[in-house]
Amino acid sequence: MKNIIELSGADITIILIYLVLLIAVAIWASYGKRNRSGNMFLADKSLGWFAIGLTMWGTNVGPSMLIANASSGYENGITAGNFSWYAFPFICLLAFVFAPRYLAANVTTLPEYMGKRFGADTRKYIAWYSIITILVSWLGLTLFSGGIFMAQILDYPLWLCIVILVSVSASFAIAGGLKAIAYTNVYQMLLLIGVSILLAVMAIVKVGGVGTVIEKTPPHYWNLFQPLSDPDFPWLAILLGYPIMGVWFWCTDQSMVQSVLGAKNLKQGQMGANFCAWLKIIDIPLFIVPGILCFLLIPTLSNPTDSYLQLVQSVFPSGLTGLVVVIMAAALISTIGAALNSLSAVYTMDIYLKNNPGKSAAESVKKTGRIVVLFGALISVFLAIGITFIQGLSFFNIFQSVLGFLAPPMASAFLFAVFGKRTSPKAINLTLTAGTIFSLGTGVLYYAGYIFRSLHFLYLSFLIFIVLAAFIFVVSLTDKAGKRSESDYKPAIVNKKVKIAWIVLIVIMFALYFIFNGH
């Protein structure tokens, strides 16, 4: 495989400096005075809003996001930015609806919260669901896509890139848990933002300035909403379907929510979520606009997937291209580290301790958690390498899309958990088991071309959610004999600064959607 980017001695020096600083931050976070004892999964409940926001955003930023967003920008403009900018209502929902309940329940994991609401069976179902999702989606697929990218740059075998990435990430999770991951994320995400800004600015200068960029870019490239006839991003499909994925991803996924669970208090958790929502605004200029700039500089690119690396090669001089390896490694280590910590937390707290209640001492929990991280890392390496053998069957792309069909059961179950005071455990458990089979089965048949061939998958995701929500409502209404666990949650008082921060963000988001439409 010919490398798209060739690294010089200066580039390698930059990479080594990054690694030294990263290890130094990790050692400080893992073995400093503030992390000598306590909960490795929730960072001793010590995280402030800045670390929470950067950790959430960093967990979301993976190699596939950088590559796919630039590719989408090259081909379609900013419309894929809906998956970043349209996230704000659901991050807001996390801040004001889910986070107060999670923190008031004093839980370490989201399966634990659902167990308190609906019983041990519900906790078990969601725990195993979370473990499988983390292993396959967060770890296997992320390592595969990241390994492919790193192999293209470093000219190392794919398996070696995968092993290096997971080893570095696992070492942080084992040594310092969420605290090490959160504080290294602060360093890594600030670096990622800085390098991404530098790339965008240098590309804009090479094109001829902001005015030239606007003049030469096709007008429809600046529209967030596309016509209903658009095969990839019809506006109604995004408006109806993305909320299902948004609730699942931002409000019920352990990897995304764990930093909020580790907040010092509710105010810090809500402000951290707010900061993450602000950071989502820069996704378009940092990750999608580079694709547009590549389109202007190299309009005849045969493979849009290469647009990000081709832009780097075109814009960055020798000595700066090493920064690309740095930010890709930062995105990968952030995502993989957070996923390993989540996997460890869920298995240790919801499976192991549930079956071994006598082993709940802090040191025993830490030891078990670290062993789980190690085994999770090993399994994810084999999963990632395994995916390389089936990619020729397009299984990788199919599975990424089918992940969208995991959202309806979880979204409906958690929404009824927080809003439905009299929701039946039977209804929730059936939704998490039979409902998941129904949703995934529909997705497989859909992508195999047997059903709803002309329907956008986001419409189908929305319809499945409606069916499952109606099912939960009807079963809860008719299940007279079933035990109820009414929520005893008392609304929390929201800090005035939190309210102001969210109001300002909401106004800005509506303004952005008004500006970036109608072109």
Residue that is written with structure tokens 């690119």 in the block: 301
Judged on CB neighbours under 10 Å (0-12, 13-18, 19+), 1 is exposed
Where are the chain's structural domains? 41-390, 394-488
Examine the pLDDT at 260 and tell me if it is beyond 70: yes
The identity of residue 326, as a single letter, is: V
Contacts of 340 (CB under 8 A, 6+ apart): 139, 169, 170, 173, 373, 376, 377, 380
Contacts (Cβ under 8 Å, ≥6 apart) of 190: 54
Amino acid at site 347: Y
Torsion of Cα atoms, 404 then 409 then 410 then 416, to 10°: 140
DSSP assignment, residue 324? H
Residues 465-510 pLDDT 10s: 999 999 999 999 998 766 655 556 677 888 999 999 999 999 999 9
Q: Is the pLDDT of residue 1 over 60?
A: no
Cβ within 8 Å of residue 461, ≥6 positions away: 241, 244, 245, 404, 405, 407, 408
186-200, 216-230, 264-278, 495-509: lowest mean pLDDT where?
186-200
* Dist. CA 457–CA 210, nearest whole Å: 36
Helix (H, G, I), strand (E, B) or coil at 53: helix
DSSP string of 459-500, one letter each residue: HHHHHHHHHHHHHHHHHHHH-SSS--------PPPPPHHHHH
Residue 454 phi/psi, 5-degree rounding, is -95, 5
What distance in Å separates the CA atoms of residue 412 and residue 426, rounded to the nearest whole number? 14
Separation of alpha carbons 458 and 240, rounded Å: 7
The structural architecture, per CATH, of the domain 41-390 is Up-down Bundle (1.20)
**Does pLDDT of 177 surpass 90?**
no
pLDDT at 351 over 80: yes
Number of residues that this document lists for the chain? 519
- Least confident range from 118-132, 318-332, 385-399: namely 385-399
Cα 323 to Cα 241: distance, rounded to the nearest angstrom:
36
Q: How many of the other CB atoms lie within 10 Å of CB of 318? A: 12
Q: Are 141 and 396 in contact (CB under 8 A)?
A: yes
Average pLDDT of span 276-304: 94
Mean pLDDT of the chain: 87
Segment 210-250, tens digit of pLDDT: 999 999 999 999 999 999 998 888 999 999 999 999 999 99
Of residues 403 and 370, more confidently modeled: 370
Of 392 and 452, more confident = 452
pTM of the model: 0.90
* Termini Cα distance of the chain: 41
- Measured CA angle at 332 (ends 327, 335), to 5 deg: 125
The DSSP element (H or E) to which 430 belongs, if any, is helix 425-430
CB 289 within 8 A of CB 277: no
Do residues 186 and 409 touch, judged by C-beta distance below 8 A? no
The Cα 470–Cα 464 span in angstroms is 10
CA angle 42, 48, 51 (to 5 degrees): 80
